[in-house]
């Protein structure tokens, strides 16, 4: 059985809320063997929390955290105790947003209209994705990817391969959309 589309987290960029289809807190929880538990579970939010994140002065910050599925508890913190399911419960020494120094990876924020829908992962495919490369909490690069461009497809008949199976460079083929006069973006 396939997992239903997940409820995304929120990333604030230039004070605008964006859906975020990445879970930057997951590596930190895994490294510390922390488990988050809630009264109820939902197959729409397997991580059991909703986080609000912010890009501020070229850094990624966790601004707030709340349980999804009723009241929650944090298990496995230092000393194997329990703590309140909140930002302060996970980061007791913090007095506000926490810089995500542990996170190295790419954040993906969909933008625009829905082009197609798949009921797995984070669901819909949108017109564009804002991709944010982060290294130890610091924003390294922001790129926008268009998802409405047809991918390049190359079909090679099995008998077209050289006898010695040596790799070869195939000439690029135009996109079917380019052949119809639709401009590629």
Q: Residue 155: inside a domain, yes or no? A: no
In total, how many domains does the chain have? Answer: 1
Residue 100's pLDDT is 97
Query: Model confidence at 164, in pLDDT bands (50, 70, 90)?
Result: low
C-beta neighbour count of 2 within 10 angstroms = 8
Block residue for tokens 């949108």: 126
Q: Residue 2: inside a domain, yes or no? A: no
Q: What is the pTM of this model?
A: 0.73
Q: Residue 182: inside a domain, yes or no? A: no
Residue 81's pLDDT is 62
Q: What would the two tokens of residue 81 be?
A: 């105790």
The model's pLDDT over 104-119, given as tens digits with 9 standing for 90+, comes to: 999 999 999 888 876 5
Which range has the worst mean pLDDT, 25-34, 142-151, 162-171? 162-171
Q: Residue 71: inside a domain, yes or no? A: yes
CA-based nearest residue to 25, from 82, 100, 88: 100
The answer to whether the beta carbons of residues 19 and 109 sit under 8 Å apart is yes
Query: Model confidence at 80, in pLDDT bands (50, 70, 90)?
Result: low
With residue 179 as reference, give the H or E element that holds it: helix 176-179
CA 14 to chain centre: 19
Which range has the worst mean pLDDT, 7-11, 107-111, 175-179? 175-179
Residue 117's pLDDT is 74
Q: Residue 158: inside a domain, yes or no? A: no
Report how far residue 177's alpha carbon sits from residue 9's, in angstroms, rounded to the nearest whole number: 34
The answer to whether the beta carbons of residues 23 and 9 sit under 8 Å apart is yes
Residue 183's pLDDT is 41
Residue 120's pLDDT is 55
Q: Residue 119: inside a domain, yes or no? A: yes
Strand pairing class (9-13; 49-56): parallel
Structural domain including 48 reads: 9-146
Q: Residue 159: inside a domain, yes or no? A: no
The answer to whether the beta carbons of residues 8 and 20 sit under 8 Å apart is yes
Q: Residue 157: inside a domain, yes or no? A: no
- Which of 69-78, 85-94, 104-113, 161-170 holds the top average pLDDT? 104-113
Report how far residue 164's alpha carbon sits from residue 12's, in angstroms, rounded to the nearest whole number: 54
């Amino acid at each position: 059985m396939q997992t239903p589309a997940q409820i995304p987290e929120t990333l604030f960029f230039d004070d605008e809320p964006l859906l975020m289809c990445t879970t930057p807190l997951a590596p930190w929880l895994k490294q510390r063997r922390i488990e988050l538990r809630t009264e109820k579970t939902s197959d729409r939010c397997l991580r059991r929390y909703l986080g609000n994140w912010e890009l501020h002065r070229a850094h990624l910050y966790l601004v707030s955290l709340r349980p999804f599925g009723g009241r929650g508890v944090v298990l496995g913190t230092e000393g194997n105790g329990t703590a309140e399911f909140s930002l302060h419960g996970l980061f007791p020494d913090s007095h506000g947003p926490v810089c995500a120094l542990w996170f190295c990876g790419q954040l993906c924020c969909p933008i625009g209209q829905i082009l197609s829908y798949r009921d797995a992962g984070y669901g819909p495919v949108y017109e564009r994705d804002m991709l944010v490369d982060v290294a130890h909490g610091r924003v390294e690069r922001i790129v926008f990817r268009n998802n409405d461009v047809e991918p390049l497809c190359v079909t090679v008949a099995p008998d077209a391969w050289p006898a010695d199976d040596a790799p070869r460079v195939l000439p690029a083929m135009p996109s079917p959309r380019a052949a119809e006069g639709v401009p590629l973006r």
